Amino acid sequence: MTACIVGWSHTPFGRRDGVDVEALIGQVVGAALADAGVAAADIDEVFVGQINAGFARQEFPSSLVMQSEPGLRFKRATRVENACATGSAAIHGGLTSIAAKRARLVLVVGVEKMTDTAGPEVGNILLKASYVKEEAETAGGFAGIFAKIAQLYFQKHGDQSDALARIAAKNHKNGVGNPFAQMRKDLGYDFCRAESEKNPIVAWPLKRTDCSLVSDGAAAVVLADVETALTLRKAIWFRAAEQANDFLPMSRRDVTLFEGATVAWQRALATARLALDDLSLVETHDCFTVAELIEYEAMGLTPRGQGARAALEGWTEKDGRLPVNPSGGLKSKGHPIGATGVSMHALCSMQLMGEAGDMQVKDAKLAGIFNMGGTAVANYVSILERLR
């Protein structure tokens, strides 16, 4: 690849009462530029990732970046959307612009304001990322969609509720160390495993602790071509950035395999000339715990049907064979949709710079990122390495 991340910023995720999309964008734009050591006037292009789809009254957000930084006026600015992979899609827009030599410096912002929307309507909006002709009447909304995936997986490989609870407990434990996380509480395995008044079934077999959080938040990164990056204070290089899209209808594929994710991972590792074991950590898309379980298999950490081993044997703990979601993941951090992919890239950049604080994985050298839209429909994998 021809680009690096040279600066970033991140708001806390959670219920941000009284803060709208414009304000969230304003909280990260100037901070990311300052972190990169560049001026707004130096930016050649802007990409804003936001799904919206009814969450916020303000559509057409691409020029809102100029409200906080007038130096961005008259720059090219474009909104990007690709379901829950919107943030990574925006980053890929920036990478493409740099590769085409249309830009040297690109600002990418991911943002979402979800909590002003009532719970049932949130479910209706999220279902728009399914194949509406066949899946829109699924009970339980998008949780019901992933509950169906879990049911099919359990039919093939047995009840994996213990593994799902281990994943939830791991991510909540990791989230305690993340200052940006919506939920910073170590709930423990026993709480995550048992159905209770505080942890009810949302859509069997998924409990509340198996589901990511509705959230508000924003994150931003500044991208630069390698030559420019090497003149700045820090440079996190894209060794690979790959995308693979699959069929939208679940009826056209085996949804327990996440084949699009597998292809994206295979392409990225081949491009980077690495094996999975070379990575120091992975931030992966745990919108639901069953997604993280299947993603272990899709990335090649375990054979098909054996993802539970990685969770139950501690492979993916922060001090394990391959730490997965040391940030706490979407499960603990929250999932403001447009911001999620950008957040993943910012947090991995912090890890590689040794600036991740209590999230820090020891001696982190290479970081993998998997961000997906829908039921493994839009699949993005990045592999990052520090150049300076």
Known catalytic membership, residue 84:
yes
Catalytic residue among 4, 10, 84, 211: 84
Sheet holding 281-283, edge to edge: 76-80, 45-49, 105-113, 216-225, 3-10, 236-245, 378-386, 366-373, 281-283
4 is annotated as an active-site residue: no
Catalytic residue among 10, 172, 335, 345: 335
Tokens of 386: 């520090």
Which residues belong to the active site?
Answer: 84, 335
